[in-house]
Amino acid sequence: MMRKAINYIFRALVFLIVFLTPIAPPLGIAIGVITSLLSVALILLNRRKFDTSFPRISILYLLSVVPSIFFSVNFTKSILTFSALLLIIALSSELYYQVREGEISSKSLIRLLLSAYMIVLIIGFLEYMFNFHGRGRIGIITYSFGGREALTSTWSYINRYANYLDLMIPLNFALLLSERGLKRFLLSLTLISAIFQLLKTTSVGGTISNSVAILIILSLTLPKIGIPISLSLTTLGAISWKKLFKLATRYGVWDQRVYGWTHDIPQMLKGRWLVGVGLGCYRIAALRVDPMDKGLTTHGHNIFLHHLAVSGILGLLGIALLLFSNIYRGIAEFLKRRDPIILGITGALISITLHGLVETIIDFAPITLLFWIYLAILNGRIDQQTYEGEGISVEGEAEFQQTTATT
């Protein structure tokens, strides 16, 4: 009886997290903490077996960062950061099992994600149209509007909003290709609005990574259209790469990033290449070697180099395994099943990985939470044994192929 009650509460809270995190990130995180604690209880009560690839890869990722704690420049900060990561992964793992077993509908989670996404885009549109400015706080919710200068919507910071769009634009596009009628019209409007707002954030990394993700999705879904377009744009980019690079480096404080990569991180890692400076300790260690903040010492501005800095070569291998194994699995499964949700989430992982070459991305709690929820939905959907009311059945697959053929 108690297990059923905890299960029910867990499911309700997961839906709240998915809906509220994009709209009010601090509130989503607060609910996420409670849900993570419940998920630990459920994992123990249900005696979950780590017998599939997702739990195993998650554990390997956790193990890759554990040694950094014991050699950290600030043990307390590292243990707190690890505890937060452990709770998020526990939530993700329990969500994975419940999606896999059909206890939670992945389709319903995606619908809720899209609903929140539309609300965030509307707020961003209003911010732009009425040129809102200012910062403030309403309870635990911090707001920051930049109007025409830079869109932030509900994310309070321009780069975080661009990171959020990395998660949503590829999913939006993949679902757009599979829908018809009114749904396709609405998804078209949201995609146009999201791309416009992404351009307004002046995030070069976000624009390029989302463009590549969209081209990959198009190539996998409609190869006769997508592959020629992708090859043409790749050829054009190869011919004019110098001009594109010069244009890209005009934005995003490029020189400071390069200084951080070539000076700060190597200096921080002296004698620590295997284990790093410790989880959550990037800024502490960076300020010691760069007290004038020439290298943007807040974080590594590269998802792989950041992991290398805080958790050493072991952490670098861990994040590479986590990202690339899930991307490979998502693409392989889409080619078998033609499931647009699997493709959309895989596209989001591709966008995060590419944008991660110039941003750390998953060092920010709300983005980290949504990232692990994405991984849980992706793997739970792939590993589902039954498809009644879920996923793409034989009929659903035929409908998807017919829709894309019409497109």
* Residue predicted with more confidence, 247 or 370: 370
- pLDDT of 268 > 70? The answer is yes
Q: CB within 8 A of 347, min separation 6: which ones?
A: 170, 171, 173, 174, 213, 214, 216, 217
pLDDT value for 75: 96
The model's confidence at residue 292, banded by pLDDT at 50, 70 and 90, is confident
Dist CA 25 CA 145 (whole Å): 15
Domain count, the chain: 1
- pLDDT, one tens digit per residue, over 323-352 is 999 999 999 999 998 999 999 999 999 999
DSSP bridge pairs for 141: 138
Contacting residues for 189 by C-beta, under 8 A, at least 6 apart: none
pLDDT digits (tens, 9 = 90+) for 120-157: 999 888 888 877 666 666 665 556 665 445 678 888 78
Percent of the chain with pLDDT over 70: 89
Kindly give the residue spans of alpha helices, DSSP state H, lying in 251-385. 254-259, 265-268, 282-289, 303-337, 340-355, 365-383
- % of the chain exceeding 90 in pLDDT: 66
Q: How confident is the model at residue 218 (pLDDT cuts 50, 70, 90)?
A: very high
Please tell me which residue, 278 or 295, carries the higher pLDDT value: 278
Decide which of 395 and 57 is more confident: 57
**Residue 311, token pair as written in the block:** 């958790």
How many distinct helices (H) and strands (E) make up the chain? 17, 2
Q: Is the Cβ–Cβ distance between 376 and 103 less than 8 Å?
A: no
Mean pLDDT of 187-196: 95
Instruction: Name the DSSP class of 385.
Output: S
Q: Please state, in angstroms and rounded to a whole number, the distance separating the CA atoms of residues 25 and 304.
A: 25
For the packed helices 365-383 and 75-100, what is the interaxial angle rounded to 10 degrees? 30
For residue range 31-52, list pLDDT tens digits in order: 999 999 999 999 988 888 888 8
pLDDT of residue 193: 95
In this structure, how many other beta carbons lie within 10 angstroms of the beta carbon of residue 83? 12
Compute CA distances 39 → 44, 95, 360, whole Å: 9, 8, 27
Is-contact 22 154, C-beta < 8 A? yes
What is the pLDDT at residue 396?
Answer: 42
Instruction: Quote the pTM value.
Output: 0.91
- CA-CA distance, 295 to 302, in Å (whole number)? 12
Lowest model confidence (mean pLDDT) among 22-26, 220-224, 340-344: 22-26
- Whole-number Å distance between alpha carbons of 366 and 350: 19
Report which residue type is found at 284.
I
Both tokens of 173, joined, read 């596009």
The domain in which residue 312 lies consists of 2-406
What are the structure tokens assigned to 44, written together? 């123990």
pLDDT in the model for residue 92: 96
What average pLDDT score do residues 78-88 get? 96
Instruction: Using alpha carbons, select from 142, 120, 106 the residue that is nearest to residue 26.
Output: 142
| Averaged pLDDT for residues 55-71 | 95
Name which of 190-204, 220-234, 379-393 the model is least confident about: 379-393
**pLDDT above 60: residue 404:** no
Residue 308: count of CB within 10 angstroms of its CB: 22
More confidently predicted of 78 and 128: 78
Residue 297, pLDDT > 90, answer no
Buried b (16+ CB within 10 A) or exposed e, 154-186: bbbebbbbbbbbbbbbbbbbbbbbbbeeeebee
Q: What is the pLDDT of residue 145?
A: 61
- Name the more confident of 61 and 129: 61
**Could you give phi then psi for residue 346, rounded to 5 degrees?**
-60, -40
Which phi-psi region, left, alpha or beta, contains residue 325 (left: φ > 0; alpha: ψ -120 to 50)? alpha
